[in-house]
Amino acid sequence: MIVIVNIGMGNLGSIANMLEKIKVKSIISSDVNDILKAEKIILPGVGSFDNAMKNLTDMNLVPLLNERVLKDKIPILGICLGIQLFTRQSEEGILPGLGWIDAATARFRFDGENAKLKVPHMGWNTVKPKHDSSLFSGLLQEPRFYFVHSYHIVCNNDQDVLATTHYGYDFVSSIESGNIYGTQFHPEKSHRFGMKVLKNFAEIG
């Protein structure tokens, strides 16, 4: 059973529906007992970094998630704001992140020719995986996914970077670090490409 962690921000219905479509059992929950029993976790999120961290803290989920992810090492997938919460901190807020990945979250900054690029980065864009991985297995060499974000993560450790995407410059659009996975894009809004990514995550071992 995959638990889609509900931190009270955004609509999680399309993630649950996409998993149902590929016959993967999931529940949307923020209940401690559900997360204790979870085989895998998806941490989605839209909204601001501090709001999300505050909600996780208020719901007493931080120690529990630390235990499940860092100690039990169950696979977790962060989506959009979710991947950013894995980092140490974000330029968007002042609260510390979960800090599972040696990375920080930065705002898109453009100068020169790129100055007219709009933030948020919104729309379909190509994702270039750096190497073979379970998350992108069975997809085209450069699959397309749907993005909506103003911030992106910056990894200190190159090995954590699973894929990059170009918008003004190359930024990290997916990570893999042991049992920790993340996508800056929205698989649940990226039809067959996203469905394959979720299926791959569900099949991780």
Partner 1 sequence: MPCLLLRNNRLVKTVQFNNPDYIGDPVNAIKIYNEKEVDELIFLDISATTEQRSPPFKMISEISNECFMPVTYGGGIRTLEDMKKIFSLGIEKISINNYSVEKPEFIKMAAEQFGSQSIVVSVDVKKNLFGNYKVWTHSATKNTNLDPVNHAKIMEDLGAGEILLTSVDREGTMKGYDLDLIKLITENISIPLIACGGAGSVQHFADAVKAGASAVASGSMVVYQGKNRGVLINFPLQEEIKRIFDSNNIY
Between CA 171 and CA 163 the distance in angstroms is 9
Between CA 119 and CA 85 the distance in angstroms is 20
Q: What x/- string results for residues 18 through 37 when contact with partner 1 is judged by CB under 8 A?
A: x--x----------------
Q: Under the criterion CB under 8 A, does residue 92 sit at the interface with partner 1? A: no
Q: Catalytic site residue 176? A: no
Q: Under the criterion CB under 8 A, does residue 189 sit at the interface with partner 1? A: yes
Q: What x/- string results for residues 1 through 20 when contact with partner 1 is judged by CB under 8 A?
A: ---------xx-xx-xxx--
Q: For residue 46, how many other CB atoms are within 10 A of its CB?
A: 17
Map the footprint of partner 1 across residues 112-131, applying CB under 8 A. Answer: 118, 120, 122, 124
Find the length of the chain: 205
Q: Catalytic site residue 155? A: no
DSSP state of 69: I
Q: Under the criterion CB under 8 A, does residue 94 sit at the interface with partner 1? A: no
> Which of 190, 196, 197, 201 is the binder for partner 1 (CB under 8 A)?
190
- DSSP line for 16-67: HHHHHHTT--EEEE--HHHHHH-SEEEE---S-HHHHHHHHHHTT-HHHHHI
What is residue 132's three-state secondary structure? coil
Q: How far is the CB of 186 from partner 1 (least distance, A)?
A: 8
Site for partner 1, rule CB under 8 A:
10-11, 13-14, 16-18, 21, 118, 120, 122, 124, 146, 148, 188-192, 194-195
